[in-house]
Structure 1
């Protein structure tokens, strides 16, 4: 059976990994003033747009995901011919309409695919599964990597579906933002009052950085640590301890809101890479999606992995 994998462009995975494994990306279009870019996970284009626009006016950006009709047209024009079963994994439905759009499109796709497949010489049925990853950014990548791994190992559709749904509910994402003022400005633009002016001002004045945690569709601060580099080092140490304690899948995903050389120079990064290598855990690192950067600002660090729940603890 030919199994296809679809993600949206908020899913932070390396561009070459997406291309090598034929992962289809549902682009999210970003508009800042008169500048428009459809985010297809092109790291060079993302960095160019970042340097030109995000620093100054990124908090004003409008983001537009693929509509129901655009998703339907993509499947009927390509995917129902190229594949027999497709797993479509989306950013958490609590933060974006992409999941709902994909669910609505799936009904039309399953109603309309037969003549398209028959015209291409396929008389067998087509099926698709839309999965809410229940997370954001680098943490979304965990399920996509496992889908590729299981597909390559010859797992069947039911085995893949059960594992992806298990991972989605056990994936943990952590983010350290650099600029709380940016987060506050972005939140105001979107009508989200979760980052108040007072907390942003105090955090910036005292150089206190929150550790933001994503799990099961929820996002919340779980710690406050003085200094960005210190906070990142604590996060990398915590991740290393989770790796040594055993993950549900041998995958750690990292993303950074800028040039990856900057992330690789942060304290604790090389130690985490060494721990992952010693424990046979693959690390996937990528430039954060443009969608992610306009929402959380430049220079943010995100870590994602799947494991049994354990409270964040600075170590």
Structure 2
């Protein structure tokens, strides 16, 4: 059976991994003033757009996911011909309309695919499963990598579906933003007043950086640390401890809101990679999606993995 894998462009995966494994990306359009870019996970385009616009006015950005009709058209024009079963892995439905749009599109796709497949010479049925990853950005990558691994191992559709749905519940994404003022401005633009002016001013004055955790659809602060680089080192050390304890998949995802050379120079990162190599855990590092950066700010750091329940310490 030909199994396809679809992610949205908020999913932080290296471009070469996406291309090598024929992962289909649902783009998200980002508009800042008159500047518009469809986020297709093109790292060079993302960095160019970032340097030109996001650092100054990113909090004003409007992000628009693929509509129901755009998703329907993509499937009917291409995916129902190229594949027999498709897993569509989306950012948490609590954070974006993408999941709901994909679910609505799936009904039209399953009603309309037969003539398209028959015209292409396929008589077998087509099936589509939309799965909420319950996470965002680097956290979305964990289920996508596992889907690729299981497909390569010739796992059945039922096995892949059960595994991905269970894994979504067990994935933890951790993130450290650089700029609380940016985070507050972005939240206000979106109508979310959870980041108050006082807390943003206090955090910036004291150089306090929150550690945010995304798990099972909920994003919340789990620690407050002082200084970005010491905070990054603490996060890397924590991730290393979890790797040594044993992850639920041999995968660790890292997203960074800027050039990857900056990421690689952060204190503790080289040691984390050494630990992952020792434990045979593959590290997937990528430039954070443009969608991610306009929401959390330039220079943000994210680390994700699947593990048993734990506390950040």
Q: Structures share a fold, TM > 0.5?
A: yes
**SS state at 1:111 partner:** helix
- Write the distance in 2 (CA, Å) between the matches of 1:231 and 1:10: 24
Aligned positions of 1:150-229 closer than 5 A: 150-229=150-229
**SS state at 1:11 partner:** coil
- Write the distance in 1 (CA, Å) between the matches of 2:82 and 2:232: 42
Residue 272 in structure 1 maps to residue 272 in structure 2: yes
**SS state at 1:244 partner:** helix
CA root-mean-square deviation: 0.4
- Write the distance in 1 (CA, Å) between the matches of 2:17 and 2:77: 24
Q: Which residue of 1 aligns with 2:106?
A: 106
**SS state at 2:155 partner:** coil
**SS state at 1:73 partner:** helix
- Write the distance in 2 (CA, Å) between the matches of 1:194 and 1:89: 28
**SS state at 2:134 partner:** coil
- Write the distance in 1 (CA, Å) between the matches of 2:122 and 2:291: 37
- Write the distance in 2 (CA, Å) between the matches of 1:196 and 1:89: 33
Structure 1 unpaired stretches of 5+: none
Q: Which residue of 2 aligns with 1:70?
A: 70
- Write the distance in 1 (CA, Å) between the matches of 2:211 and 2:55: 22
Q: Which residue of 1 aligns with 2:241?
A: 241
- Write the distance in 2 (CA, Å) between the matches of 1:121 and 1:107: 22
User: How far off its partner does 1:74 sit?
Assistant: 0.2
Q: Which residue of 2 aligns with 1:29?
A: 29
Q: For residues 200-231 of structure 1, what are the alpha-carbon distances to aligned partners after superposition, in whole Å with 9 as ceiling and x for unaligned?
A: 00000000000000000000000000111111
**SS state at 1:209 partner:** strand
- Write the distance in 1 (CA, Å) between the matches of 2:25 and 2:70: 12
Q: Which residue of 2 aligns with 1:50?
A: 50
**SS state at 2:5 partner:** strand
Q: Which residue of 1 aligns with 2:131?
A: 131
**SS state at 2:223 partner:** strand
- Write the distance in 2 (CA, Å) between the matches of 1:130 and 1:220: 25
User: How far off its partner does 1:197 sit?
Assistant: 0.6
Q: Which residue of 2 aligns with 1:89?
A: 89
Residue 141 in structure 1 maps to residue 148 in structure 2: no
**SS state at 2:129 partner:** strand
Residue 304 in structure 1 maps to residue 304 in structure 2: yes
**SS state at 1:178 partner:** coil
**SS state at 2:158 partner:** helix
- Write the distance in 1 (CA, Å) between the matches of 2:37 and 2:169: 32
- Write the distance in 2 (CA, Å) between the matches of 1:195 and 1:3: 42
- TM-score, structure 2 as length reference: 1.00
- Write the distance in 1 (CA, Å) between the matches of 2:159 and 2:122: 24
- Write the distance in 2 (CA, Å) between the matches of 1:131 and 1:261: 33
| Displacement over 4 Å in runs of 4+ | none
User: How far off its partner does 1:309 sit?
Assistant: 1.1
User: How far off its partner does 1:194 sit?
Assistant: 1.3
Task: Give the paired residue count.
Answer: 313
Structure 2 unpaired stretches of 5+: none
**SS state at 1:212 partner:** strand
Q: Which residue of 1 aligns with 2:285?
A: 285
User: How far off its partner does 1:298 sit?
Assistant: 0.3
Q: For residues 257-281 of structure 1, what are the alpha-carbon distances to aligned partners after superposition, in whole Å with 9 as ceiling and x for unaligned?
A: 0000001100010010000000000
